Chain A
Amino acid sequence: MDKSNSQEDRYHRFVGLLARNDQAIRRFIRSLLPSNQGVDDVVQETALECWRKFSDFESGDSSHPDQVQGSDEFIRWACVVARFKVMSCQRDWARDRLVFREHILEQLADDAFEQMEKRDLERMAIERCLSQLVVESQRLLLSVYRPGDSVKRIAKENGEKSRRLYSKMNGLRKQLLACVERRLAEES
């Protein structure tokens, strides 16, 4: 294989790994930031840094051609890169935005790594638990994620106070979490 082909193969591998694991890396980064603000910047910087260091990753991983295992290792490696990127960005943002104190950030990163392991199972459990809720509760719970819908709007439609509905929504979130944890415990 000549050099250009080999280089193109590297791109293919990198792009494939990045595309497959984009969501997981993004979620990890979001879990280390106080809000969505800055997530895109860190994702972007992480992706570039990962590409710059991709040969390091490959040299430590050349004996594992298996894609699934490579994918998991890529996520872990990319998340380590992301963790440093978040710390570096937070130092720059400290004057302008909410930022986590460094040691809290480290604890959150550890927790997020742990949480990452069960993300697929969690997603399935959430879908099942969501489907068990009555339609009104589902709508309320999802209203904050849907453009055009909101707690305020539902409150207006039903003549209720939005503060009350907001409390109700948080109650539903806790209920959903309890349901998910119960299912995960059952499945393990």
Chain B
Amino acid sequence: MNEEIEKLIFRAIDGAISQDEFNRLQDVLEVDEDARVFYTKMLSLDQSVSDIAESARGEAVDRPEVHWNSLAGVDSETDSSLRGHLLTYISIAASAVVLTTLAFYFTRPWSGPEIVRVREVEVAPLSSEKNGVAEVVQRIDCVLENEKWSTSSSSFEAGQSIVLLEGVVVVEFRKGARVTLEGPANLEFLSDNSGFLQSGKLTAVIPDSAIGFEILTPSGRLIDHGTEFGVSVDPNGDTETHVFKGEVELIANHAKTQELDPNSGSQREFGSQRLTDAMGLRFKREGNVAAEVIEANPSQFIRTSIVDRQRVKNRTEITELVDEEHLMMWFEAGQGVQRDSKGRVISWENLAQSQADRANQELESSAWQVNADRRPGWSESGLGGFPAVRFGGFESKEFLATTPLRLKADATALVVCQFDPLEEIGYGHLLVLGGQTKFVLERREKSEAGSYTWSWQNKNVPPFRMEALKNVKPTTSHEPQICAVRYSVEQDIFELSVNGEAVAEGDPIGSLAVNSSQVIGCGHHRNRFFFKGQIAEIVIYDRALNQEKFNQVTESLMQKYRIQAR
């Protein structure tokens, strides 16, 4: 077994393994029995040594605190009976060990925030062990062909290809070129600063360290001179190049390729050409068909760089929010929206990261839709004169999914939205937050007598539990409204407000803490509960704001969207 595999196993055992490393480890465990046996033995050894260390401390096993009052998780008759009898038993049990054990098993808070001990070991990626000419640095809802057959690795050697069936993947070449590949696509890695795009689309951002970066296509060769550009290769091998910024040199493979002289309109032989800002070129793989100079169209491509996305510099011009350091998600439809050539939303930037964090982020936090058929629309003056993202409901099945976000146990969420009329009674999820414990904002029934519900669900507790808060007052379908909720298990707050007025309250039970993708516009399985209407802004804090601050934020949004108190 080689050293890399051993290190992956140790990192897994220490809880310091990344997703990519874990995928690699699984590939190995699947085919290499020696590695699997080593993993099992080492894990067993680790557990024994851990037990010995704990015994030596003479302390109790590190387990969650016992909560005697949190028996609400299982409410079938049998289980209630079980608890009652077990607690009776506990009270008469002579053995402290038995008591501790049972108290832990049956009274541990159901799906409360889990405390997982993280060991203080090397948690940084194995950067010094980087190999290959390029590696995947970000995946966005993607399917890689090699992962379907479990031979994946996050890094690639020269000569290897990445076959992307769907979604988006970001690859960084060793010299620094960052390529966003949009599926379906096939890219072969030629060196640490060049690749061959056989089919599909990519955009590339080239830092100074990678000037000279080359992309070959069946029709020609592109040499970058410090820039950002997009390339697409259709199934015939014909190529389009669009330069967004900087300069790219193009060399045609086919000696006889002609180009159309934009001045004279006549054709001339095309050998190489330099394209600069906003220029593009379409050229054929074969034949004496003219290469055509076109205007660069960034909306034809998915870009993951945030270099020139339109954004208001002064964030107070967007919405006046309080406690920005506790913002977890903040989507405003006038900011950071990347749209495709049909005007549909590819990505919606999460503005909640602080500027300092942003500088350290390799990639921004955003909500994405990589499938062109599922992208929601966008309207410049959708709600109260402000832009909004428009979701089409069940017919069009549009939604957005965020890059993984780390949620805490509590939250305050405000959504500025508007419902489209529905012909039939239906459910539409505007927002789904959480992991095991789901937190859902849903629109129910016909919007003429509209109501919406924030519900807390915990599918991990048998039987399935749900705590729903309903707005029972009629709402007007076409007008913008702000529905909001404050949620805290610790403070026992679960309160639904509409346009600043508290309309319902209930009992919070579970923690929302999770680190995962969250969904906007449909249910978390992404196959039903499609929302029909518009969302202009989503503001989510990692805590239950106190009443004063909550009122401030609500007021700020109501003023902005010209919403009257009910």
Tell me if chain B binds chain A: yes
Flag A48-69 by CB within 8 Å of B: 1 or 0 each. 1001100000000000000000
- Residues in A with CB closer than 8 Å to B64 are 40
A contact residues vs B (CB 8 Å cutoff): 7-8, 11-12, 15-16, 18-19, 22-23, 27, 30-31, 34-38, 40-41, 43-44, 47-48, 51-52, 89, 92-93, 95-98, 100-101, 103-104, 107-108, 111-112, 115, 119, 122-123, 126-127, 130, 141-146, 150-153, 162-163, 166, 170, 173-174, 176-177, 180-181
**Is the CB–CB distance between A92 and B14 below 8 Å?**
no
CA distance A43 to B114 in the complex (A): 13
Q: List 25 A-B contacts (CB under 8 A).
A: A15-B89, A15-B98, A19-B97, A23-B51, A36-B117, A92-B459, A92-B460, A95-B517, A95-B524, A96-B436, A96-B516, A98-B17, A98-B22, A107-B36, A112-B44, A115-B41, A123-B52, A126-B48, A126-B49, A130-B49, A144-B119, A145-B119, A150-B119, A173-B45, A176-B45
Closest Cβ of chain B: how far from A133's Cβ, in Å? 11
- Residues in A with CB closer than 8 Å to B6 are 170, 174
Residue B120 interfacial (CB < 8 Å): yes
- Residues in A with CB closer than 8 Å to B121 are 144, 150-151, 166
Residue of A whose beta carbon sits closest to that of B526 = A95
Known: A22-B101, A36-B116, A37-B114. A30 touches B63 (CB 8 A): no
CA distance A181 to B46 in the complex (A): 14
Q: Is the interface of A mostly helix, strand, loop or mixed?
A: helix
Which of the 9-residue segments B105-113, B232-240, B245-253, B276-284 touches chain A? B105-113
CA distance A145 to B14 in the complex (A): 10
CA distance A156 to B82 in the complex (A): 52
Closest Cβ of chain A: how far from B22's Cβ, in Å? 5
Closest Cβ of chain B: how far from A91's Cβ, in Å? 11
Flag B28-64 by CB within 8 Å of A: 1 or 0 each. 0110000011011111111111111110110000011
Residue of A whose beta carbon sits closest to that of B64 = A40
CA distance A115 to B435 in the complex (A): 33
**Is the CB–CB distance between A48 and B49 below 8 Å?**
no
**Is the CB–CB distance between B44 and A35 below 8 Å?**
no
CA distance A166 to B150 in the complex (A): 29
CA distance A101 to B388 in the complex (A): 40
Known: A127-B52, A150-B120, A173-B42. A38 touches B26 (CB 8 A): no
- Residues in B with CB closer than 8 Å to A142 are 49, 52-53, 56
Closest Cβ of chain A: how far from B127's Cβ, in Å? 10
Q: Is the interface of B mostly helix, strand, loop or mixed?
A: helix
**Is the CB–CB distance between A7 and B85 below 8 Å?**
yes
B10, B40, B98, B117: the one contacting A173 at CB < 8 Å is B10
Interface size class, chain B: 35 or more
**Is the CB–CB distance between B45 and A126 below 8 Å?**
yes
Residue B12 interfacial (CB < 8 Å): yes
- Residues in B with CB closer than 8 Å to A34 are 12, 17, 22
- Residues in B with CB closer than 8 Å to A23 are 51
Closest Cβ of chain B: how far from A172's Cβ, in Å? 10
- Residues in B with CB closer than 8 Å to A96 are 435-436, 514-516
**Is the CB–CB distance between B517 and A177 below 8 Å?**
no
Residue of A whose beta carbon sits closest to that of B524 = A95
- Residues in B with CB closer than 8 Å to A89 are 460
CA distance A98 to B20 in the complex (A): 10
Flag B112-135 by CB within 8 Å of A: 1 or 0 each. 001011011110000010000000
- Residues in B with CB closer than 8 Å to A122 are 44-45, 48
CA distance A174 to B119 in the complex (A): 19
Known: A15-B98, A35-B15. A166 touches B122 (CB 8 A): yes
B14, B42, B43, B105: the one contacting A43 at CB < 8 Å is B105
**Is the CB–CB distance between A144 and B89 below 8 Å?**
no
Residue B19 interfacial (CB < 8 Å): yes
Closest Cβ of chain B: how far from A84's Cβ, in Å? 14
CA distance A104 to B23 in the complex (A): 12
CA distance A96 to B524 in the complex (A): 12
Closest Cβ of chain B: how far from A150's Cβ, in Å? 3
Closest Cβ of chain A: how far from B279's Cβ, in Å? 42
Closest Cβ of chain B: how far from A104's Cβ, in Å? 5
- Residues in A with CB closer than 8 Å to B15 are 35-37
